[in-house]
């Protein structure tokens, strides 16, 4: 019989490209303004991958540092999960590329596609696998190179999305710490609100799909905005239900960095001071599955997450999907 364990996070890290693109840079590319982007989203600048830099490169850098901080050797990992909607290739999975390059010779590997909820989905899955005893040490990475799947003529999307990676090592932590609960949700009926229409089996790549910019992110921003504003507080209430952790007991919320207005409205609806929400969207934009991972690692690095803290992670995005995970921090 499998023994039940207590899973938690042993180490976190992030990696973003060096190249900074400011709102002023975007003013030269599309009909937009620093004022519009700042007021409507909160973004001031974002990181854009250099030539030849792909999702696995940032994943590898973030993953290596997370392992080092956790004091874990790559060969101790028994699973690598890469949460992404912009993999290096459709197959093999980016997780397999990372598994090889990082030297996780004893690990299985798979990519997880849950849009911007990806990392929270991945962390929840990993924690429950460690809890169940089937796996001991899992590397969970959220990583994106969205700049490669943006239409740089579409001001609705190109000012928002960006590149980066964050990683967490999940393993056993002392009793009373670590994973408390998670919720995973989806509403596929809203799938067309954020979609890359071509490049799959429904619409394979042709000269026409390329000419029609169908290999890029298409988003109905206002529909997603309405969904996000409704779902974020609901995720928080749902994930805390029956856990004994009240909303007021949360020390820090790490939300998906999609729009600072969504974060402010969630804070209000939850009755939490907005200062409890970690925000870095002004520097990194929306990095989809990487955003919660980067924010978690950066908040930890900045000393804003300490041992004993109740940490609430919230993701939402393409699918549509949503996810929440609450942990008592142990490092």
Residues within the interface to ligand UT7 (CB under 6 A) = 32, 36-37, 40-41, 116, 155-156, 159-160, 194, 221-222, 224-225, 228, 258-259, 286, 288, 317
Tell me the closest approach of the beta carbon of residue 223 to ligand UT7, in angstroms.
8
Residue of 256, 259, 280, 309 marked active site: 256
Least separation, in Å, of the C-beta of 205 and ligand UT7? 24
* CB of 101 or CB of 261, closer to ligand UT7: 261
CB of 156 to ligand UT7, least distance (A): 5
Residue 222: CB minimum distance to ligand UT7, A: 4
| Contact of 139 with 104, CB cutoff 8 Å | yes
**How far apart are CB 225 and ligand UT7 at their closest, in Å?**
4
Strand partners for 312: 253, 326
| Nearest residue to ligand UT7, scored by beta-carbon proximity | 221
Count CB atoms within 10 A of the CB of residue 33: 13
Nearer Cβ to ligand UT7 (46/135) = 46
Catalytic (active site) residue 259: no
The catalytically annotated residue of 83, 96, 116, 325 is 116
The CA distance from 273 to 260, in Å, is 14
Question: Has 256 been annotated as catalytic?
Answer: yes
Question: End-to-end CA distance of the chain, in Å?
Answer: 30
Angle (nearest 5°) at CA 299 between 297 and 303: 115
131 is catalytic: no
Nearer to ligand UT7, 102 or 253 (CB): 253
User: Of the two residues 228 and 313, which places its CB atom closer to ligand UT7 in the complex?
Assistant: 228
Q: Which of 23, 181, 259, 286 is catalytic?
A: 286
Which C-beta is closer to ligand UT7: that of 22 or that of 132?
Answer: 22
Residues 79 and 129: their CA atoms lie apart, in Å, by: 10
Alpha helix segments (H runs only) across the chain: 23-27, 34-41, 55-70, 94-102, 118-132, 155-158, 207-211, 221-240, 260-270, 281-284, 291-301
Q: How many CB atoms lie within 10 A of CB 236?
A: 23
Contact 247, 271 (CB under 8 A): yes
Q: Which residues are catalytic?
A: 116, 256, 286
């Amino acid at each position: 019989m499998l023994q039940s364990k207590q899973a938690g996070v042993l180490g976190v890290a992030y990696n973003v490209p060096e190249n900074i693109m400011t709102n002023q840079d975007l003013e030269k590319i599309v009909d937009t303004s620093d004022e519009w982007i700042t007021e409507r989203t909160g973004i001031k600048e974002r990181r854009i991958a250099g030539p030849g830099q792909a999702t696995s490169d940032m994943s590898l850098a973030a993953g290596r540092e997370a392992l080092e901080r956790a004091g874990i050797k790559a060969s101790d990992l028994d699973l690598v999960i890469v949460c992404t909607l912009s993999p290096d290739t459709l197959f093999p999975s980016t997780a397999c590329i990372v598994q090889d390059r990082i030297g996780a010779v004893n690990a299985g590997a798979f990519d997880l596609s849950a849009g911007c909820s990806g990392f929270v989905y991945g962390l929840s899955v990993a924690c429950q696998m460690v809890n169940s005893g089937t796996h001991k040490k899992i590397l969970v990475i959220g990583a994106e190179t969205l700049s490669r799947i943006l239409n740089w003529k579409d001001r609705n999307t190109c000012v928002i999305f960006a590149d980066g990676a964050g990683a967490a090592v999940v393993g056993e932590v002392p009793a009373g710490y670590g994973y408390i609960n998670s919720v995973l949700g989806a509403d596929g009926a809203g799938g067309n609100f954020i979609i890359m229409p071509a490049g799959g089996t429904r619409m394979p790549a042709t000269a026409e799909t390329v000419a029609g910019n169908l290999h890029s992110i298409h988003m109905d921003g206002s529909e997603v905005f309405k969904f996000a504003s409704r779902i974020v507080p609901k995720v928080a209430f749902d994930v805390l239900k029956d856990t004994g952790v009240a909303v007021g007991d949360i020390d820090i919320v790490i939300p998906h960095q999609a729009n600072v207005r969504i974060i402010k409205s969630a804070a209000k609806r939850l009755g939490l001071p907005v200062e409890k929400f970690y925000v870095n969207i002004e520097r990194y934009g929306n990095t989809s599955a990487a955003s919660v991972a980067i924010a978690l690692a950066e908040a930890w690095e900045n000393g804003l997450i300490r041992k004993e803290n109740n940490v609430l992670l919230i993701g939402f995005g393409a699918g549509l999907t949503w996810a929440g995970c609450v942990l008592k921090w142990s490092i």
